[in-house]
Structure 1
Amino acid sequence: MENKIIIIIGITLLIVVILLIVAGNYFYNFSLNPSVSKDAIFDNNKNSENEVVNKDETSGECKVEDMEWILNLSNYKDSYIKSFDNLRLHGYEILNYNDSHRWVITVHGYTGEGIKMGSRAKVFYEMGYNVIIPDLRGHGKSEGNYIGMGWHDRKDIIEWTNYIIKHDKNCEIVLYGISMGASTVMMTAGEEDLPSNVKAVIEDCGYTSAWDEFSYQLKFMFKLPKFPIMHAASLVTKIRSGYFLKEASAIKQVSKSNTPILFIHGDEDKFVPYFMLDKVYNAAKSKKEILIVEGAAHCKAHKINPELYWTTIKKFIDKYVN
């Protein structure tokens, strides 16, 4: 009788473990496998007011004229770097005609690609900045078979800053990102080996951590609690992509940063919820400013009030970039 109980318990535990592995892999593929997740979350994610979040809202603009602006420039070229784990990463490089030493790296969002950041990059270009628009790992023309959620991407952004410094020793660099790109630049800001050439960081609607964002979406989309699914998904992420979801924390990174940061968020953001803004802002110990755009949904602040948006950004970076 006792042996039967032990066998039943053992079989039950084995079934639970198998189910957790299956669930962990399912949510990993759903969220972090680029070949699967590109449309899944956006096709299924509806906020409480039945608003569908379009993937282009997290990645940048998708207008044909914005793409053509980059590709038709005579001073545009495709540039490449090697990542710490030997991936070939692509970026669009646009040199300004005024021999400027000002540079900006504009970072797209979740499942996006650099080419869709055209309209935002154009504004910086017109301010006199040279522009690098990376395709993050697993996106666009860059290699990679997983989405980094900003964590491994932070090292890639540092490689892009080193690329700029190699070609312009007098450069002054601004990091600008939206959505996942915003969390990426926040995570980059906390790195010890961030070059001093990086003078300012601008984040637009970034999340506190990958763990927090996926926990929020798990509850919102599937009505499921964090435990034990998030723990299983995080373990699968570590096995398949090399990082735990809690490691990808913008909160921890900004708390270590000495670089000035401008925090931007729309108060109607339901995809990366507005309440995350206070958490990252309060965690930052460096010089910091905040812009809350009333009525703006996810990545819509620049459309709801473009004058306030870009004027605030220009005033901010002019304090730190010559």
Structure 2
Amino acid sequence: MTKKRKIITMIIGIISVIIISLFGAGIYFFHVAEVRAPKTFINNQAMKPTNSLYRYEQEFNKLKKTTWHQMTPGGLKLDAWYVANPQKTHKTIVIAHGFAGNKQKMAAYGEMFIKLGYNVLIPDDRAAGSSAGKLIGFGWNDRKDYVRWIHQIVKKDSHSQIAIFGVSMGGATTMMTAGEKLPTNVKAFIEDCGYDTVKNEIAYQAGAMYHIPAYPLVDIVSLISKVRAGYTYGEASSIKQLHKNTRPMFFIHGGADNFVPTKMVYRNYAATQGPKKIWVVPGAKHAKSFETAPKEYQKKVGNFLARYM
């Protein structure tokens, strides 16, 4: 073998190792991002009595809950809690939980809306809680599930007035749902600390959590997602969906959010086409705005909804 041929063989070998390594890393990070499994970087500890929302959670846990179900077109059975307000009302809030969350984790928010006079529906997203599924939808695959939940509410009560609320990934789910064709019963949206696009969020976390550059790894993981989950990270965009929304939207974000960067809320706010309001909570970390300022949070959310419902 000539020297030149040896060099070419070596280069091909190195390139092959790099490609195999990148796709191996891509499969690993796809598992971290989208496959249903315990996430060590997510706090799953029970709420402590010292938490400002502990009383909210405990009160909601006492309430009678009816279990609702739906079947997705792909055959997944999804589960949700429905809680009727003690004071009969046509107003219902649909609450979307965060990444690696479930309906139980949204109990404090459920109690807040009960106090504000609303019925509450809290689904477990696909691959979460009691719902079926192996792959996390990041709000994109979930948005059409939420449209079906909305239609269930309308079927139960044709006079219903509905708002959608979500935190973190649930905030993105709320914004992504806002871009879908919805019945006129839907009156408003509230999103708390949702990301602008899945690609931007994953790219940010690649640096923040793993100290690695986004390119080309995020694109490889996105390609795997297209094959496995049916969507790329670029198409899973809150911004694109908000461009289609004309209903009122309240944007909330922590001023000290270092998980979904605060700057994302301004992009989302600029994108929506309907009446809008923004509140950046000073000093609040990711998904901690309610916990940081519970009385003000409840008041602002209540006032916003009262204006449109």
Q: Normalising by structure 1, report the TM-score.
A: 0.88
TM-fit CA distance, 1:285: 1.5
Q: In structure 2, what is the Cα distance between the partners aligned to 1:64 and 1:10?
A: 59
Q: Which residue number in structure 1 is paired with residue 29 of structure 2?
A: 27
Q: Which residue number in structure 1 is paired with residue 145 of structure 2?
A: 156
Residues 1:82 and 1:62: Cα distance change in structure 2 (over 3 Å): farther
Q: Which residue number in structure 2 is paired with residue 46 of structure 1?
A: none
- Which amino acid in 2 is paired with 1:73? L
Gaps of 5+ in 1: 43-53
Residues 1:62 and 1:244: Cα distance change in structure 2 (over 3 Å): farther
Q: In structure 1, what is the Cα distance between the partners aligned to 2:45 and 2:95?
A: 15
Aligned length: 303
Residues 1:207 and 1:137: Cα distance change in structure 2 (over 3 Å): same
- Which amino acid in 2 is paired with 1:233? V
Q: Deviations over 1:80-106 (max 9, x none)?
A: 011232210000011123331101001
TM-fit CA distance, 1:318: 0.9
SS at match of 2:214: coil
Answer yes or no: is the 8 Å Cα contact 2:190–2:251 preserved in 1.
Answer: yes
Q: Which residue number in structure 2 is paired with residue 173 of structure 1?
A: 162
SS at match of 1:279: helix
Q: Which residue number in structure 2 is paired with residue 77 of structure 1?
A: 66
Q: Which residue number in structure 1 is paired with residue 176 of structure 2?
A: 187
Q: In structure 2, what is the Cα distance between the partners aligned to 1:23 and 1:97?
A: 51
Q: Which residue number in structure 2 is paired with residue 135 of structure 1?
A: 124
- Which amino acid in 2 is paired with 1:15? V
Answer yes or no: is the 8 Å Cα contact 2:246–2:274 preserved in 1.
Answer: yes
Q: In structure 2, what is the Cα distance between the partners aligned to 1:115 and 1:19?
A: 39
Counting aligned pairs with the same residue, the percent is 37
- Which amino acid in 2 is paired with 1:138? A
- Which amino acid in 2 is paired with 1:106? I
User: Which among 203, 207, 231 is matched to residue 191 of structure 2?
Assistant: 203
Q: Normalising by structure 2, report the TM-score.
A: 0.92
Answer yes or no: is the 8 Å Cα contact 2:56–2:112 preserved in 1.
Answer: no
User: Which among 291, 316, 322 is matched to residue 304 of structure 2?
Assistant: 316
- Which amino acid in 2 is paired with 1:34? R
Q: In structure 1, what is the Cα distance between the partners aligned to 2:194 and 2:150?
A: 21
Gaps of 5+ in 2: none
Q: Which residue number in structure 1 is paired with residue 264 of structure 2?
A: 276
Residues 1:137 and 1:56: Cα distance change in structure 2 (over 3 Å): farther
TM-fit CA distance, 1:67: 5.8
Q: Which residue number in structure 1 is paired with residue 201 of structure 2?
A: 213
- Which amino acid in 2 is paired with 1:218? A
SS at match of 1:303: helix
Residues 1:25 and 1:144: Cα distance change in structure 2 (over 3 Å): same
Aligned residues: CA RMSD: 2.1
Answer yes or no: is the 8 Å Cα contact 1:56–1:62 preserved in 2.
Answer: no
Answer yes or no: is the 8 Å Cα contact 1:100–1:128 preserved in 2.
Answer: yes
Q: In structure 1, what is the Cα distance between the partners aligned to 2:237 and 2:287?
A: 20
- Which amino acid in 2 is paired with 1:201? F
Q: Which residue number in structure 2 is paired with residue 15 of structure 1?
A: 17
Does residue 258 of structure 1 match 2:246?
A: yes
SS at match of 1:262: strand
